[in-house]
Structure 1
Amino acid sequence: MSQTRIPAWITVGVLPAVNILMAFAVSAILFYYLDISPLEAAKIMWEGAFSNSEGIGFTLYYATGFIFTGLAVAIAFHAGLFNIGGEGQAYIGGLGVGLVCLLLGDTLPFALLLPLAIVVGGVFGAAWAFIPAWLQAKRGSHIVITTIMFNFIASALMAYLLVDVFKPAGTMAPESRVFAEAAWLPKMADLLAPLGLELSPSPLNLSFFWALICALLVWLFIWRTRWGYELRSVGANHSASAYAGIRYSRVVMVAMLISGMLAGFFALNVLQGELHQIKLNFVEGFGFTGIAVALMGRNHPIGVILASLLFGFLYQGGAELSFEFGVDRNIVVVLQGLVILFSGALEHMFRPRIEALYLLLARKGEA
């Protein structure tokens, strides 16, 4: 019997790729049902997302939001926690970012305003994760239940604030006033123009770089610090980690606070970078999609970035598909669902066959 071990690239590379291809294969059946050529649909989605600077800008803009929420879920997963409250934490993080921009946008220079918005947005997101974390760590309340409840509480709180507190006089729209222009995050097209790179206007903004920095910091934290080792130990085996002297309650609090902080950063991209005001439901499900992003990315920052690019492609490409063929834009939700189905619920369906094929090829190579 061969003692060849299955390399990591099979698990983190080949298996997800096969699952995604199967999701797209099933999507082809759906397009046939809609009388749309699957090849033509794939071409339009690809060209809409990557063939020009505007499409790339929109794809990376969506991916930026997914990186924040995907990293938030991944951090909690490593501690054995299922933080399903990214939606609410991103919502409350937006409240923090919005307050900074509304109150100080006219007075502080941008060099001070941006780091303050980052800190306050992260603190507000972490604060919204604090009570569910404390209930899990100290009272044994299930983190899934409490974070779901806090999503609804966040939605109700923001609806109240936008209707009764932030809404300017003379308007019926549940939204705040527009931030001072000095508080807006620079768009990527404006940043690259002085360098001679002419890009079409898109929502892509400076927060994209902060998302990549956060991915690097998450990698360093999880795999290069004692705190990260304790977090992974608790996630791998709660009982063994307790026997080793690792305090479960401390790990839960740290993991959830960092998770909430990362979700809170989401508002930098959407509010400070694009909408320039606090609006109702600005998170738009990105917190929940972050769960799929983390699962597909195997809770690794590089995997989260790649999965975020895939979902950014689905968002932007789906919009082009909707415009070209006149189909309901909810087709994107269906495509996302198929990707989640094969990458999540059915992620191990093809594992035995892929591993058997690798071992067969490895034995032939040894012979």
Structure 2
Amino acid sequence: MGFNRYASTGGKEKKIALALRYHQPLTNETSPSLLEKRILEYLDNQKSLGMNIHTIRGQRFYLEVFFKWCMERGIEDPNQMTISLVDRYQKYVSQYRNQVTKKVITPETQNHILISMKTLYEWMQRREYIVKNPCWNVRLVKTPKRIPRNILKVEEVEKMLLVPDLESGLGVRNRAILELFYSTGIRRFELQKLKISDVDLVNRTVFILEGKRRQDRLIPMSERASDWIRKYLEEVRITLVKGPDDGTLFVSVRGGKMDTSRIGEVVKAAKEKAEVEKKGSTHMFRHTTATLMLDNGADIRHVQEMLGHRDLNSTQIYTHVAIRKLQEVYEKTHPSAESLDNTSKNKNVDTQASDTS
């Protein structure tokens, strides 16, 4: 069974799983079960409706958890699932362990797995492939609101930006990548998909075509990022392209579009060489961009538009770490905000005043 090769919900196995084409058979059986056929048909339907390929690959990965569970229990027809079996599956998911770390998966990952099953059955119900939908009452796990902790300081970012070797073409390319991440906070796959035509170096804008949930957006970039992209385009890119040129902005050493994993490695290498001890790679820049903009007075709706968040609640999480204004108010209003030295001086002044009175 194909699932066993990449059953983990994280690490290298997940990267392998997501790299596979979404419609690859789930098993090596010559006569696949009806459940397998429905899952593959569902994924193919999502593609035809225009769903982002990264989202589809993610759904396939989570549905394989469900598929494996069903196969181990002899459930080959979607109609065999009952409300009782759904409850049992929910319990199984709540105890599911990452096969690499051996830790129970996070509540967020549990919900992804449950939602993928629920959405599959809703689709089959609309197609009249099933008599009843046993997943109508699936209960999602309560997830804590996690505050981003890998916000970079400006000094840390600047150290990372200085890492690439500017004497080499790849160094110039990598500097342009880092500058664009820092300037815009775009997602890794959004940067990977960029074409030269998406970047306006005169007006300093970047057009994101079909970002998450297929939302297009036009966002600004810094003059510095624009300058480095111009340098990369004028001096380096032409030396990297091999074969037909499809206009991809950032090109790999093999001459084609860079893999998302390679883009992540560029950021990770810069972080390690700059001795920045924070977890994460490309998303660090996204968190940092949002936090710094809010800290410097940006309207939250402008930050929402910049990041491409559909829900304002996704952006509001950054208000919990953008605390510069809160610190300013605190220092002006809270009695204990003064330093120990100032408190002692004030106490001495008060004592001297009482002695002379």
TM-score of the superposed pair, with normalisation by structure 1: 0.22
Of structures 1 and 2, the one with the larger relative CO (CA 8 A, separation 6+) is 1
Determine which structure has the larger helix proportion and give its number: 1
Answer with 1 or 2: which has the greater Rg.
2
